[in-house]
Amino acid sequence: MKKNSSKGYLILGILFILVSVIAFAVPAAKTAAFWISYAFTVVAFAAQIIIWNAALGRSESLKSKFLGLPVLHIGIVYLVVQVVALIVFLSIPTLPIWSAVVACAVIAGVSAACMIASDVGRGEIERVSAKVREKTFYIKQLQADVELLASAETDTATKSSLTQLAEKIRYSDPMSDEQLADIENRITEKIAELKSSTDKVEIINELDSLLDERNRKIKIMK
């Protein structure tokens, strides 16, 4: 990732030098409007480093980086539009100073607003995803516990019942909720009893009933 970032910054630097060379090599009058647009262009290039770090540097997870792509795209569009504005003010030296100030400020302002809005959306998606992971952890943990018990069970009938119970947990609604805390605590307690019990069949039947009750309550809550 660091190598890719270094290459990206190198390309950015090359593009900045290229734009600058062309801007100063073109035999056109360098008016105040040009210098203002050039200054905004320098800021746009420099802003890419901040934008790239904000979009891709906060997390190593692929999902987080994918969510950061819209911000990155807006930053690139901002740079391209600002370079176009520089070309316009270089090509038409008669344009007034105020037009350069207004045009460049609008480009920067609109781009910044779009990037902030996109980043807020990204943060909300990450927050919801984290909440979903937290809520689905409970059922996955139950499934893992029962599967471990099933793999260690020597009695054929009990092993089959545990396997069926694990499958039922697997296909249960994975989402949890504060309103389910009581029944989920009871299920957790029964799983703990199951681990130390010598007669597991009765507890398995109780767990089966509790899971049915939990799933019915989830359907009512939706």
The mean pLDDT values, 10 residues at a time, for the chain of 222 residues are 67 92 90 94 92 66 51 88 94 93 94 82 62 69 85 84 87 71 84 80 86 80 65
| Contact between 36 and 96 (Cβ < 8 Å) | no
| Contact between 72 and 55 (Cβ < 8 Å) | yes
Rounded distance between C-alpha atoms, residue 48 and residue 53, angstroms: 8
User: Which residues make Cβ contacts (< 8 Å) with residue 147, sequence separation at least 6?
Assistant: 166
| Contact between 19 and 41 (Cβ < 8 Å) | yes
Largest CA distance in the chain: 93
Q: Give the pLDDT confidence score for residue 62 in this predicted structure.
A: 41
Q: Give the pLDDT confidence score for residue 65 in this predicted structure.
A: 47
User: Which residues make Cβ contacts (< 8 Å) with residue 190, sequence separation at least 6?
Assistant: 203, 206, 207, 210
Rounded distance between C-alpha atoms, residue 208 and residue 201, angstroms: 11
Structure tokens at 191: 């799983």
The single residue listed with the structure tokens 């801007």 is 23
Q: Give the pLDDT confidence score for residue 38 in this predicted structure.
A: 95
